[in-house]
Amino acid sequence: MADNPFALFDAWYAEAKAAEINDPDAMALATATAGGAPSVRMVLLKGHGPDGFTFYTNADSRKGEELAANARAALLFHWKSLRRQVRVEGEVEEVGTDEADAYFATRGRDSQLGAHASDQSRPLASRAEFLARIAKVTARYLVGPVPRPSRWTGFRLTPERIEFWSDKPHRLHERRLFVRDGKSWTEGLLYP
C-alpha cells in the first residue's frame, strides 16, 4: 500500500509513456449536464500533479458548457498494453488566463489557427465551410504569434477519488482506491 496516489500515478504514467504505442496521455472525460445527462469523450492530459489533472478545450464546446453547469467530472486512463486503468473523480475549475496563454503558445501553429476557426461541437454545414474558415484565420494571422481565443481555455480536475485497476488472471483484478480526506488520503481495496 502507498499513501500518495500521485506518486503511484507518476510511476504508472511513466510506464504507459514507454509502453503505449499511441497516446498514453489519452483519457476519457465524463461530464454531465446540470440535470445529470452524461456525456463522455477522449481528451489529452496536458499536466498533472497534486493540484490535479489538466486538459484544454473550447469553453463553448459541449464539454465546456457541461462543466460550467456542473463542475464535477470523471477521467479514465486505459493503458491496454499494461492491462491497467486509472479512474479519477472530482471537481473541475478553469485554469487561470496566464496558464492557458502559456500552454496555447506551445501548440503548433495549425492547432492554434484551428482553435480560432472552430465553433467546437456546433453544427457544421460542410467540410468546405470549415476549410474556408481556416483559410480566413490563416490570412488574418499570416505573420506573428497567434493569440489564444478567449473561449479556448484549460480545466483542472482536483481529485477526490483515484482508483488504480490492474488486470489479474481469471478476472480476479486488483483495485486500489484512494479517497481524499481533507488534505490527506485514505487507501483501501475494492472487490473486483
Instruction: Give the Cα separation of 44 and 63 in Å (integer).
Output: 14
Is residue 151 flagged as an active site residue?
Answer: no
Q: Which residues pair with 27 in a beta bridge?
A: 43
Degrees (nearest 5) of the Cα angle 118, 119, 123? 115
User: Which triple of cell numbers denotes residue 20?
Assistant: 503505449
CB-count burial class (<10 Å; 0-12, 13-18, 19+) for 51: exposed
Degrees (nearest 5) of the Cα angle 112, 118, 124? 155
Selected catalytic residue, list 62, 107, 171, 180: 171
**Catalytic positions, written as ranges:** 171
